[in-house]
Structure 1
Amino acid sequence: MKPTNKTSKKAGQAVGIVMVTALVSAGCSLIGSDDGADAKRPPAAALEQFYTQKISWKDCGQGFQCGTLKVPLDYSKPGGEKIDIAVNRLRASDERQGSVLLNPGGPGASGLEAARGSGPAMDRQLRERFDIVGFDPRGVGKSTPVSCPSGSTGDGATAGTTSGTGATDTTGTTDTDVQLDTETRLELQAARLTAAACQKTSARLLPHVGTVNAARDMDVLRAVLGDRRLNYVGWSYGSELGATYANMFPDRIRTMVLDGATDLSQGYLQQQMAQAKGREATLRAFVADCLKIADCPLKSAGTVEAGVKRITELRESADLNPLSNSTTDGTSLDGFAVTNAIGAALYDKANWPLLSEALTSAITNRDGTALYQFLIDTEGLIGIGQYEAVTCADHPRFDRATALQAAENAKREAPNFSDALVKTAWMTCESWAAPATKKVPVPRAEGSAPILVVGTANDPATPYEASKALVKQLDNARLISYDGSGHSAYLKAGSNCINDRVHRYLIETELPKEGLHCPAI
């Protein structure tokens, strides 16, 4: 799930072997089915070239090796065009037992960077036995990417500043658009510019991105790495990718960690509403934490409710009188930008002291420079159009009237985030030319090995309720809970309780005890 006005999810994995004829002659899926019905069947002969290929590995710094996996652009036409999946690995330092694939989320975040960032932090015994493997999913980063050039601004980190959308052009504005408020209209224009640029440059790729095809690519990667069964860690959207893989290939899993889950029984609009409520709850947790500190800028408010109201007043006042910004670009911050900056800061509890300082400057001096830094810190984490490409492939469209009404309904429980996350949800795919594929199914993964789900009590992007829902949806899953705040917990929350249990599971397949709660740090 994206850390600004969109959602930012984190995770990744794969497994496979070869046989033939019945699949093709029966007209069945070539490599797993969306509901998992064909996942136990070996891949068709036409895919053998992909499952048996060899990656040419080369050293690429920091102890990593890098290479390229070839996969079909269109799995229904495996003899057609091929695309690249960029892969890296940190090799096991002792006797290798397999690989652990990582995906950090997004959709659109780089798994290559996740491996470089998280791999060295993983347990020493795990790194002795397993290669740590990252990959950029199709359409992302150094893989064959969705490309949306020529100044398309989409939802970059600065979108929502008074000039951050870069969309003053009124091309395509309709009579119904004119009825929207100015900020929403600018966001809509930016979304349309992104959609047009992506279609112009990546039209052949857009119909073939999406979570189901990314899961198929993971299975090819699993086999090429020489692993009979998959080990995987996915954060945020990575949990969605992992659950989809499990649903398609339930018998090809050894271990799977899904941290910060999405409830796939919900549509995109429902997910955005849940995220808005989760972010509001995390904001309240931040205010409660802040009030315990002597120099908290909300101290005089006295209560959590009054402190949240103080932040709401700051956000609303910024629409009338934007906050100043002394960075080199000088972009001032309106209410939408303030919302996005605070939302980004809530992702990691380590940011909360900095958020407190930023709010002090904003409330006392109308200075938004420190808040703006939270927006800059998220810039470039996801390539322009790459979040939209996957989201719009995975989810059916819905109209603006439905979203606008949902935003009004969400204001009761999420007054500070309903506009940023729900009111604008319809515009993500409103102008997207590539059609939505069938919605990613609710995962069952019947017959899989036990899957470990990690949920965080106050998660601003993937609410705890979604992790509980995923455990109920899966045939064989165990929940471990982190009773703290922040987006996902494994290797992020500083909790040895979480990290140790996850490592033990990945190494020995040992599950934590039922109902385990790890205390907040």
Structure 2
Amino acid sequence: MTHLKSLRARRANSVFAAAAATALTLGISVPAAASTSSEPASESTQESQNAEPGSTPTEEPAEETGTASDTEPGDHPSGESDDTSADGGNPSDTSADGAARAQSEAGDEAEEKPADEYYPELAKKLFKKGEGHYQVPAPAAGGKPAGKVPAGLEAYYSQKIDWSADSCAAMGLPDYSEEIGRPAECGYMIAPIDAKNPEKGNIAIAVQRVKAGKLEEAEGGGVKFTPNSKPKGSVLYNPGGPGGSGMMFATWQAWDQPELAEDFDMIGFDPRGVGASMPFSECATDQQQDASRDLNPWKDGRDKAEEVFNTDTKKYADACFENTGKLFGLDAEGRKDLIKHLGTWDAVGDMDILRSVVGDEKLNYVGWSYGTSLGYRYAQKYGDSVGKLVLDGVVDPGDAEAVKALKAINARSDRFADLGDTVAQENSTGAGDKAGAGTGKTAKASEKIDLDGLTEDQKDTVNQGAGFQDTFEQFAKDCAAKDREGKTYGELWPDAFGETPLADQKFTCALGESDDPKVLSDNNAKLLQTLETADGGKGLPTGNPDDQRRITFSVGRLGEFQALYSTSLWPRLNYALNELKAGKSAGQLLILADMYDGRDESGHYDPSGAAFTNIRCTDSNSAHEPKDDAKLAQVRKFAEAYDAAAPFQRASVSPAGYDTCDFWKFKGTLPKAKQLTKVPNILVVSTSHDPATPYAAGVKMAQLIDGSLLSVAGNDHTSYQAAGGCVSDTVNTFLSKGRVPRDGDFGEKLDKPDTAKDHNGKTVNLPNKCKMQTFRTDGFTLSTSKAHVGSEVGFKVTHLDSEADYVLKIGDKTYAFTTDNGGNFAGVFSVPEGLKAGSTVEVAIVDAQGKKVGSAGLEILSKDKPRKDGPEAGGTTEGKDKPGDKGGDKPGDKPGDKGGKTPTDNAEGESKPLPRTGADVAGILAAAALLLAAGSAMAVNGRRKGRH
């Protein structure tokens, strides 16, 4: 899943209009009313996707009509390359990679190309050691480290990057210096393959930087740029995937968010194994991927389809281990070890090195889609170094046992188990059969989808299918409503079609005029299924004499998924479905599928698809499980569950396609999700009808980490950048000042209120574009309400300001302490002498400005009256700091150890950032256990933090 896919889609209408115009000249008709009853609807499997998911082109893929890929007005700089490596998680794929990836003999017939043909010129210049051999050197000395530096990695954290604009060109990136007023700079950062064993060798991480400064209109035209000599730091970006390139996001954010870029350097990067980073992931050849798309075994039944797809999937997995890193002098074991370190857990280590190299003590970061996983895992691994994190379009973090023990929240992944009204009606083919049996019948509206026995990853994939179903229904109902308006394309979308041959053509919805989502889903599935048997199973032609490829069911379905990533592609999708209904060609669906897969006009597939596979399977896989009858039954159940969750995309059979990761050569390396510690407030953005990352996952994440949730009404995948207005204002203010709005609705008033379901099944109402809900509260607790003078009393503060100095006051005594990065501290104080027995005294927490932020009453006991709770009654104070200690990390402490004070880099005179956390630190949890055991803990002055 990637923000890049939706970002690209939102600027594609001008391309579509041109393509549609050309299609008309080629005689591709768009009928006003084609039959929707081509074939009986029945179930399919998401696993059948032939093409390697997640790939997107460095430039907009050439369209079969031969049109250019212009940028839509108002988007990024004109002429911008679509440097969009795509998303991951093939939504229509049970194998999640697309089970069909042909290792066919077609590749043998193609002209042999140099193995490094697609390597960046900069990589060839810096790392090539001879024909067919590359090596990444040690990091260059000369930099100055910032923040925490893990022992043994000092050379990496203090390296100097050779930044230059020429390096951007040598990486194949376009120059937008005229648009943004200054050139972007690029270079390679060196990181160890294995941070625990740096002697194994190095990899190179491609990075881009756009320096902070003010951008203004210049007299006489153009722009004027004034550099900021004292920026607040940097913001790092990742668009998702896994496998998405983030290099150009430095430039795009400088263009889209000039006010934020006035105070911060913009940093883009390609994670290890991705894009211009070396070595990047390599699996199947372009010819093999084309051949995979041609696989269309649906008409031969489930068993044959399983045989075809599973054989192809295994070959694809083997190709990843054969080709990734092959030119870097690595033997089979070396390549296997390299792939073992291409996962998310190692990638966040590179983010921490980059944080230090660019001079930031804390990481400020925006992650979209899978990029939210990078942000979450960074916080899990490097909690002390977290600055301001924004997670937009959350990938479900999974269950966290530590959090479940503390919070009564629903952390299960099967929250969409009851999909009732999204499940399609029974059809004649499956009459009398059980739902989900691969016979063409879908579950009844009153039935729940059975997810018992599925893995968490499979449940998440089913949930994603439900998200796409929800977005499809939004599209279909909008399509039917526009049909009833009786308007032309030009009237409905004047900017996109006003000057094209489509301007005067009446808009006709390919799915009919019904408002019933079941009928619309069934009509859509029947249309797609015509591709299973078209021309004897070969599929339909493109309609373009210069492109002899065929559109199979899997390719057509993939094209539809691409269009659902953004509302800007909805008219294009309807046009494509009308072409399909005419039954002569399906070129428009192929254009969309190429956009998804990143296939360019030369036939080259962006390698982000291979990166998606390497990263996802390295993170988690079930390769250790036997592929026996029980496994086959489980995979079939998964395929059937997906089709029940997303009936609009089902095929005529639901073959059990093994996941590419089922053929991986080692167990997954990603640790289990767990309670975050010492982490400041994290801003989570979740869109009500996000097709790829369901809204509920964002609510769950925000609760799990005690963060702030920005709910956004909309149908696109992710919202920051896309939605603008209240979304951009909220995110940019948070990044700049650490503040979020007060809880409640704000932003543009909607014509019709929107609704969404959270992870507990509760309805969330959205009368406005934006809604804020903060799950973070601060607090102050004592281990007892009664104590003798001279005794020790435990206390805990939570979610105050990050790494800030405070004082505990009781009587005439004060005790100083410093919170950790999450604003937490647990310690003990001695009740001073001289306090009157029988009186109740105030224990107060005061900040550095003298403001009281918390207080509690403590009754002073007479000496002859025993106290039965807390440390004085035999409880332990071990593990708690006494006030006056800094209570924090010493140099050399590992991330996740008891946190301490690290200088922050706030601008002079600026208020301290809003504290943000995942939960309490381990030491605080120990104190909390003590407080609960004492039986008299009292939370005082709990309040929400950081709203304007």
TM-score bucket (shorter structure): 0.7 to 0.9
Which among 254, 259, 273 is matched to residue 392 of structure 2?
A: 259
Instruction: Give the match for residue 738 of structure 2.
Output: 509
How many residue pairs match? The answer is 471
1:473 and 2:704 aligned: yes
Q: Distance in 1 between matches of 2:677 and 2:619?
A: 22
The answer for unaligned runs of 5 or more in structure 1 is 11-40, 166-177
Q: Distance in 1 between matches of 2:291 and 2:552?
A: 10
Structure 1 residues 96 and 269: alpha-carbon distance in aligned structure 2, compared to 1, 3 A threshold:
same
Instruction: Give the match for residue 262 of structure 2.
Output: 128
Q: How many angstroms does 1:417 deviate by?
A: 4.3
Q: Distance in 2 between matches of 1:341 and 1:429?
A: 24
1:437 and 2:571 aligned: no
Of the structure 1 ranges 86-95 and 198-207, higher mean CA displacement relative to structure 2 is found in: 198-207
Of the structure 1 ranges 438-447 and 351-360, higher mean CA displacement relative to structure 2 is found in: 438-447
Of the structure 1 ranges 220-229 and 251-260, higher mean CA displacement relative to structure 2 is found in: 251-260
Q: Distance in 1 between matches of 2:593 and 2:675?
A: 37
Q: Secondary structure at the match of 1:45?
A: coil
Q: Distance in 2 between matches of 1:258 and 1:136?
A: 18
Whichever residue aligns with residue 342 of structure 1, its letter is: E
Q: How many angstroms does 1:355 deviate by?
A: 0.8
CA offsets 1:242-281 (integer angstroms, 9 cap, x no match): 1100111222122111111111215321221111111111
Instruction: Give the match for residue 49 of structure 1.
Output: 155
CA offsets 1:295-346 (integer angstroms, 9 cap, x no match): 2222344533222211111112221223331243332222222221111100
Residues 330-349 of structure 1: pairs in structure 2 closer than 5 A: 330-349=548-567
Structure 1 residues 164 and 335: alpha-carbon distance in aligned structure 2, compared to 1, 3 A threshold:
closer
Q: Distance in 2 between matches of 1:276 and 1:510?
A: 34
Instruction: Give the match for residue 391 of structure 1.
Output: 616
Name which structure has the greater RCO, CA cutoff 8 Å, separation 6+.
Answer: 1
Q: Distance in 2 between matches of 1:425 and 1:472?
A: 35
Instruction: Give the match for residue 498 of structure 1.
Output: 727
- Give TM-score, length-normalised by structure 2: 0.47
Whichever residue aligns with residue 276 of structure 2, its letter is: K
Structure 1 residues 419 and 88: alpha-carbon distance in aligned structure 2, compared to 1, 3 A threshold:
farther
Instruction: Give the match for residue 236 of structure 2.
Output: 101
Whichever residue aligns with residue 71 of structure 1, its letter is: A
Of the structure 1 ranges 393-402 and 213-222, higher mean CA displacement relative to structure 2 is found in: 393-402
Q: Is the 8 A contact 1:442 1:473 kept in 2?
A: no
Whichever residue aligns with residue 81 of structure 1, its letter is: G
Which among 324, 328, 344 is matched to residue 541 of structure 2?
A: 324
Instruction: Give the match for residue 519 of structure 1.
Output: 769
Which among 621, 635, 646 is matched to residue 414 of structure 1?
A: 646
Q: How many angstroms does 1:105 deviate by?
A: 0.6
Q: Distance in 2 between matches of 1:424 and 1:382?
A: 26
Which among 359, 365, 374 is matched to residue 577 of structure 2?
A: 359
Q: Distance in 2 between matches of 1:302 and 1:288?
A: 6
CA offsets 1:338-360 (integer angstroms, 9 cap, x no match): 22111110001111111111111
Report sequence identity in percent: 30
CA offsets 1:389-435 (integer angstroms, 9 cap, x no match): 11111113164432221221333222234779x966732212222x1
Instruction: Give the match for residue 511 of structure 2.
Output: 298
CA offsets 1:107-128 (integer angstroms, 9 cap, x no match): 0110113333444212x22111
Q: Is the 8 A contact 1:407 1:418 kept in 2?
A: no
Q: Secondary structure at the match of 2:647?
A: coil
Q: How many angstroms does 1:146 deviate by?
A: 3.7
Whichever residue aligns with residue 310 of structure 1, its letter is: N
Q: Distance in 2 between matches of 1:153 and 1:205?
A: 25
Q: Distance in 2 between matches of 1:406 and 1:242?
A: 29
Whichever residue aligns with residue 479 of structure 2, its letter is: C
Whichever residue aligns with residue 498 of structure 1, its letter is: V
Q: Is the 8 A contact 2:372 2:392 kept in 1?
A: yes
Q: How many angstroms does 1:164 deviate by?
A: 8.9
Q: Secondary structure at the match of 1:133?
A: strand
Residues 190-201 of structure 1: pairs in structure 2 closer than 5 A: 190-201=312-323
Structure 1 residues 461 and 52: alpha-carbon distance in aligned structure 2, compared to 1, 3 A threshold:
same
Whichever residue aligns with residue 228 of structure 1, its letter is: E
Instruction: Give the match for residue 171 of structure 1.
Output: none
Higher helix share: 1
Q: Distance in 1 between matches of 2:252 and 2:743?
A: 30
Instruction: Give the match for residue 25 of structure 1.
Output: none
Structure 1 residues 185 and 384: alpha-carbon distance in aligned structure 2, compared to 1, 3 A threshold:
farther
Instruction: Give the match for residue 173 of structure 1.
Output: none
Q: Distance in 2 between matches of 1:148 and 1:443?
A: 32
Q: Is the 8 A contact 1:234 1:258 kept in 2?
A: yes
Q: Distance in 1 between matches of 2:556 and 2:292?
A: 8
1:372 and 2:601 aligned: no
Q: Distance in 2 between matches of 1:188 and 1:291?
A: 38
Which among 205, 212, 215 is matched to residue 92 of structure 1?
A: 212
Instruction: Give the match for residue 23 of structure 1.
Output: none
CA offsets 1:154-192 (integer angstroms, 9 cap, x no match): 8x6x68743599xxxxxxxxxxxx995444544333332
CA offsets 1:361-397 (integer angstroms, 9 cap, x no match): 1113442111111011123355342111111111131
Q: Is the 8 A contact 2:684 2:709 kept in 1?
A: yes
Structure 1 residues 331 and 519: alpha-carbon distance in aligned structure 2, compared to 1, 3 A threshold:
same
Q: Is the 8 A contact 1:164 1:331 kept in 2?
A: no
- Give TM-score, length-normalised by structure 1: 0.83
Instruction: Give the match for residue 35 of structure 1.
Output: none
Structure 1 residues 120 and 300: alpha-carbon distance in aligned structure 2, compared to 1, 3 A threshold:
same
Q: Distance in 1 between matches of 2:564 and 2:655?
A: 20
Q: Is the 8 A contact 1:160 1:183 kept in 2?
A: no
Q: Is the 8 A contact 1:51 1:220 kept in 2?
A: yes
Q: Is the 8 A contact 2:156 2:191 kept in 1?
A: yes
Q: How many angstroms does 1:470 deviate by?
A: 0.9
Residues 120-199 of structure 1: pairs in structure 2 closer than 5 A: 120-122=255-257, 124-148=258-282, 151=285, 161-163=293-295, 180-199=302-321
CA offsets 1:123-148 (integer angstroms, 9 cap, x no match): x2211110110111111111123443
Q: Secondary structure at the match of 1:79?
A: helix
Q: How many angstroms does 1:212 deviate by?
A: 0.6
The answer for unaligned runs of 5 or more in structure 2 is 6-45, 55-86, 90-146, 169-174, 177-182, 214-227, 325-334, 399-412, 414-455, 484-506, 599-605, 626-630, 746-765, 771-948
Q: Is the 8 A contact 2:306 2:657 kept in 1?
A: no
Instruction: Give the match for residue 29 of structure 1.
Output: none
Q: Distance in 2 between matches of 1:312 and 1:199?
A: 36
Of the structure 1 ranges 53-62 and 339-348, higher mean CA displacement relative to structure 2 is found in: 53-62
Structure 1 residues 364 and 419: alpha-carbon distance in aligned structure 2, compared to 1, 3 A threshold:
closer
